[in-house]
Amino acid sequence: IAGITQAPTSQILAAGRRMTLRCTQDMRHNAMYWYRQDLGLGLRLIHYSNTAGTTGKGEVPDGYSVSRANTDDFPLTLASAVPSQTSVYFCASSASGSAPDTQYFGPGTRLTVL
Amino acid sequence: AQSVAQPEDQVNVAEGNPLTVKCTYSVSGNPYLFWYVQYPNRGLQFLLKYITGDNLVKGSYGFEAEFNKSQTSFHLKKPSALVSDSALYFCAVSLNTGFQKLVFGTGTRLLVSP
């Protein structure tokens, strides 16, 4: 079934450790996004990529980095995790990145930083 | 800057009754508006979107939403609620120009009682 996969499903991480959240889509979508979901704050955009080889900063990019080496994969890296990065992380993709494309979401990664 | 408000943290409705989940938005131009639903421990699923034209938009699972430009609202509705509709609902807005960045509301939990 076509869609977005994320790994791991959940992770507990010690503060200061490096962590990469993986995201892969098989819909050949050009645009991909990373959001974090926090209670009472909804979803906030961390980073995005409108095509392979390009990335951009969203609303809350500090402490995170991304790369887009190919169309399918869009990993999110926490270089040195802090407790405030405890959250549920969602990857999404859309066909072109231009409004009003629909964004499709992965199942999420629940990350706990202690 | 774009923003979305979902004024109700939770909406309670009895099965078979009509439901409304409220959303208001603020943008400087013409908006594209979206509704997503999130079931427990799942990613967001697309329900419907408003682009242009008819103010009443029909979507998945019997949901519809009405765009009201004068009131800057995009309320989600369903004529007859099901217990299985119980979930977290997010409204989102993007501008109709350039690269699409969705801005989400904080979410409304819908609880449908038998």
Q: What is the DSSP string of A7-60?
A: E-SEEEE-TT--EEEEEEESS--SEEEEEEEETTTEEEEEEEEEETTEEEE-SS
Q: Which residues of A touch B44 (CB under 8 A)?
A: 43, 90, 92, 105
Per the CB < 8 A criterion, the answer to whether A48 and A35 are in contact is: no
- Which of B36, B42, B95 shows the shortest C-beta gap to A107? B42
If you compute the radius of gyration of chain B from its CA atoms, what whole number of angstroms results? 14
How many CB atoms lie under 10 A from the CB of residue A63?
Answer: 14
- What does the pLDDT look like over A33-70, one tens digit per residue? 999 999 888 899 999 999 999 999 999 999 999 999 99
Among B33, B37, B57, B32, which residue's Cα sits nearest to residue B47?
B37
Q: What is the mean pLDDT of residues A74-84?
A: 97
CA distance A68 to chain B (A): 17
Is it the case that residue A101 has pLDDT exceeding 70? Answer: yes
Biggest distance spanned by C-alpha atoms of chain A: 39
Q: What is the mean pLDDT of residues B89-110?
A: 86
**Average pLDDT over all residues of chain B:** 92
Q: Which residues of A touch B41 (CB under 8 A)?
A: 108
Q: What is the mean pLDDT of residues B13-37?
A: 94
Q: Which residue of A has its CA nearest to B91?
A: A42
**Average pLDDT over all residues of chain A:** 94
CA distance B36 to chain A (A): 10
Beta bridge partner(s), residue B63: none
- pLDDT for the residue A1: 57
